[in-house]
Structures are given as structure tokens and as C-alpha cells.
């Protein structure tokens, strides 16, 4: 049995679909702070078992072989607006680490490329980490706590430093969604999309289908540590808008950047994940954008795997 926390969310729901496709028994854990009840209902129809509540409810299960932990908010602005999220996220992660220690279960958790802020790309796992916001500190705490449990108790876990993940099923995140989805929504709704700065900032955009593959590779591995999950290619917001404009009308409005410690560039060094996990991203950005536009035009729940 595999528990997926945040299983009604964007990435988590796609992971649940893939696990069900593989014939796994899946427990979907979600408190619906950002997850979708409609998505959860669809996943239940496909065979998932819903456990409503915080990620720490996994400890109530009599039997669980692995936990894929995506059950903490994944947007920096959410932490600025509610710093209390940090405490909740850390407490729930310790519950999961204790579960891994006591029962010997496999724990795979989502970390973030925001950890690299202040470092020039390509970003490597051995670069120094200097948290500059609450969200990054919360994610980095998870990585450090995983190392403490490994050192003290031999708990083996994998943290995946996700770069800029896009794909179907992100609508419930609203204004916290990836810039790819937000640009497409603006184009479909005839709105101008606001860009901070001049649009030269870059992101390493990776499709959720590839991210799901990375989680499956981690689940099948006995490795321990943190690994980048990106494509190794960076794309500017201007170039992203140009790709989207090939398929639908999109206008941009450039404004002064109001965010301190704004991440200007991200690009993953993917060599460690390739070497240890055997993972390499395969979805082309332009093709991924075309698929996503069609999914949003249909206005229905479409999974990306």
C-alpha cells in the first residue's frame, strides 16, 4: 500500500493515477486546502482510497509500505501570507520521518529548486543553500531533518528538488499555479498577463508527466539523498509567452518587480538524477504547452500521465 499526501493536488493526483495504473493500492491523503474534491472523487472512482486530513494522518494507517509526500503548500506567496504554514509543514514531516523510522517504510518527498536562490545555474545538489524566505526554509528543513534521521536511525529517504512543474490539472491552485498555466489562462480569457521586470527571468520548465516518472524512479531506488528534477534547459518568460502566442492570442504587461529575493534564473544540473535514479526528462516544452492548451480548452479534468 502506498500513501500519497497531497494526492488531490496538481502533482499528487497525477502520481496517484500512475500508481493505480501500475496496480498499486493507493491511499490518497489530502486536507483540501489547495487540492480538489472533484479530482479526489475521480480518483476514488479509479480505485484510490481517500483519507481526508493532514499528512500526519498517514500514521493512523495499519499498513503502509511507502509514502510519497506532496502534502505541503508549494507556493512561496502562501507562506508570506500565512507564516504558520511553516510550523504545520515541519510538524507533519517529522511525523512521517518517525513513521519511516518505526516501520521501515520508504519515504519520497517533494523539495524545491527555490533552494538554489543566490546560486548561478546550472544548479547542482552540492551548492550552498541560504534560505531567503519561509517557503525555502520549510523545504530545506525537510532535507536537513531527513539527513538527521539517516545519521541517527539509518532512515533512507529521497528528496526531489522539483524545478518549474507545469501540466494539466492545476486549475485549483488558482493564482499560485505555475506561470505556464497562468499565461495560458490569461490568453484563453482575453486578459493581459502581468510579468515582473522585463521578462528575461528564466525557469527550467518540466512537465508533470516527467515529474511522475521521477517519483516512480525514486520509489524503485534504494538510494538516499536529494536529487534535481528538471530538464537542464532554461526558458525566459518572454520566450515562453512567444510559444504560447503561437497557439492563442496573448498580451503581456510589464511592471516593476515588487518581490524581494526574487528568483531570476533556474536551470537544473540533471547528472546526479540520471546517474543514480536513471531519470531523464523527455517531454518537449513546446509539445507540453500545446497539450496543456487543449486540456484547458476542454475545461475538464485531464491527467498528465
> What is the set of active-site residues?
135, 173
Residue 23 has which C-alpha cell?
496496480
Concatenate the DSSP letters of all residues of 40-61 into one string. HHHHHHHT-EEEES-GGGGGG-
Which residues, at least 6 apart from 189, have a Cβ–Cβ distance to it below 8 Å?
Answer: none
Which residues, at least 6 apart from 104, have a Cβ–Cβ distance to it below 8 Å?
Answer: none
The beta strand positions in 141-198, using DSSP E, are 157-162, 164-166, 192-196
- Exposure of 189 in the CB half-sphere (CA atoms within 13 A): 11
Residue 30, strand partner residues: 52
- Compute CA distances 41 → 1, 26, 51, 53, 119, whole Å: 19, 14, 12, 15, 42
**CB distance 235 to 163 below 8 Å:** no
Q: Is 257 helix (H, G, I), strand (E, B) or coil?
A: coil
> From CA 305, how far away is CA 291, in angstroms rounded?
12
**CB distance 108 to 69 below 8 Å:** yes
Amino acid at each position: 500500500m502506498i500513501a500519497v499526501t497531497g494526492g488531490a493536488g496538481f502533482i499528487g493526483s497525477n502520481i496517484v493515477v500512475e500508481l493505480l495504473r501500475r496496480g498499486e493500492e493507493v491511499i490518497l491523503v489530502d486536507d483540501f486546502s489547495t487540492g480538489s474534491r472533484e479530482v479526489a472523487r475521480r480518483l476514488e472512482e479509479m480505485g484510490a482510497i481517500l483519507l481526508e486530513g493532514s499528512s500526519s494522518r498517514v500514521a493512523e494507517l495499519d499498513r503502509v509500505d511507502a509514502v510519497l509526500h506532496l502534502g505541503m503548500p508549494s507556493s512561496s506567496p502562501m507562506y508570506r501570507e500565512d507564516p504558520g504554514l511553516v510550523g504545520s509543514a515541519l510538524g507533519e514531516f517529522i511525523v512521517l520521518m518517525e513513521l519511516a523510522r518505526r516501520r521501515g517504510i520508504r519515504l519520497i518527498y517533494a523539495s524545491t529548486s527555490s533552494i538554489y536562490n543566490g546560486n548561478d545555474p546550472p544548479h547542482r545538489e552540492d551548492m550552498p543553500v541560504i534560505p531567503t524566505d519561509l517557503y525555502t526554509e520549510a523545504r530545506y528543513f525537510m532535507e536537513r531533518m531527513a539527513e538527521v534521521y539517516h545519521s541517527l536511525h539509518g532512515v533512507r529517504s529521497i528528496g526531489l528538488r522539483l524545478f518549474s512543474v507545469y501540466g494539466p490539472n492545476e486549475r485549483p491552485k488558482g493564482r499560485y499555479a505555475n506561470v505556464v498555466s497562468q499565461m495560458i489562462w490569461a490568453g484563453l480569457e482575453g486578459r493581459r498577463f502581468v510579468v515582473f521586470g522585463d521578462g528575461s527571468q528564466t525557469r527550467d520548465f518540466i512537465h508533470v508527466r516527467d515529474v511522475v516518472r521521477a517519483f516512480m524512479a525514486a520509489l524503485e531506488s534504494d538510494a538516499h539523498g536529494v536529487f534535481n528534477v528538471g530538464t537542464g534547459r532554461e526558458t525566459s518568460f518572454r520566450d515562453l509567452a512567444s510559444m504560447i502566442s503561437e497557439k492563442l492570442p496573448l498580451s503581456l504587461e510589464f511592471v516593476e518587480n515588487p518581490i524581494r529575493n526574487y528568483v531570476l534564473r533556474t536551470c537544473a544540473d540533471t547528472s546526479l538524477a540520471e546517474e543514480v535514479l536513471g531519470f531523464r526528462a523527455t517531454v518537449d516544452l513546446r509539445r507540453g504547452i500545446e497539450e496543456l492548451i487543449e486540456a484547458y480548452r476542454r475545461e475538464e479534468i485531464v491527467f498528465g500521465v
